[in-house]
């Protein structure tokens, strides 16, 4: 069995060999595939937390799922209840528009794209799960995104419906309660428009 776990100092896993094998299998079938990655893998690509699987938007069928399982088994990265590559994210989100995606790995039969980090923020704020809020706070802090209304405007332009209280909570997580209290004081009238 091949070892996937070429792990960097910050715990990030190198998925390129797995994508290479997936491409080789797709090539044998002469089957092109485009993945639009989101979630933890995009976090990893942007230097945040590592991930053990790849959530992506793609068109699935039985033949493709068998190939994904085979590649995952070869690298020992499938879980008992989930394959290393899955499209369950499409149950909660529409496929991101191509304008907000970029190609990160291209092979003969496989194009691996990733959503823009701002688009990822929109997805995470929409789901509002605890890990997603932590991830969003990390993104905000590490990118020095402090303009809440500017970010909200960008997300609305991307067609997200964002709950302002979730956004405020996330900024509070990123910058602390003192920052949040000052923001409330300085922007009370603007914030009240969203309630």
- pLDDT tens column, 60-87: 999 999 999 999 999 888 988 899 999 9
111 and 124 assigned to the same domain: no
> What own/partner pairs with CB < 8 Å and gap ≥ 24 does 116-121 have?
117/42, 117/46, 117/143, 118/151, 118/154, 118/155, 118/158, 119/158, 120/38, 120/39, 120/42, 120/43, 121/151, 121/155
28 and 78 assigned to the same domain: yes
Structural domain contains residue 91: yes
pLDDT tens-digit readout, 3-28? 444 555 556 678 999 999 999 999 99
Q: What is the pTM of this model?
A: 0.89
Residue 1 confidence (pLDDT):
44
104 and 176 assigned to the same domain: no
| Residue at which a domain ends, from 57, 86, 115 | 115
Q: Which domain holds residue 43?
A: 16-115
């Amino acid at each position: 069995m091949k070892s996937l776990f070429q792990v960097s100092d910050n715990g990030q896993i190198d998925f390129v060999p797995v994508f290479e094998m997936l491409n080789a299998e797709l090539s044998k079938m002469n089957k092109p595939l485009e993945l639009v990655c989101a979630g933890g893998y995009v976090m990893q690509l942007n230097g945040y937390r590592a991930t053990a699987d790849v959530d992506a938007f793609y068109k699935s069928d039985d033949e493709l799922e068998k190939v994904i399982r085979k590649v995952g088994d070869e690298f020992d990265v499938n879980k008992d209840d989930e394959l290393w590559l899955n499209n369950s994210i499409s149950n909660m989100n529409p496929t991101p528009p191509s304008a907000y995606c970029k190609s990160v790995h291209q092979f003969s039969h496989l194009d691996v794209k990733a959503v823009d980090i701002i688009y990822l923020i929109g997805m995470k704020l929409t789901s509002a799960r605890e890990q997603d809020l932590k991830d969003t706070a990390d993104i905000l802090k590490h990118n020095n995104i402090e303009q809440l209304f500017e970010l909200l405007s960008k997300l609305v332009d991307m067609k997200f419906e964002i709950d302002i209280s979730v956004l405020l909570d996330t900024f509070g997580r990123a910058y602390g309660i003192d920052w949040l209290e000052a923001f409330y004081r300085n922007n009370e009238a603007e914030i009240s428009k969203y309630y």
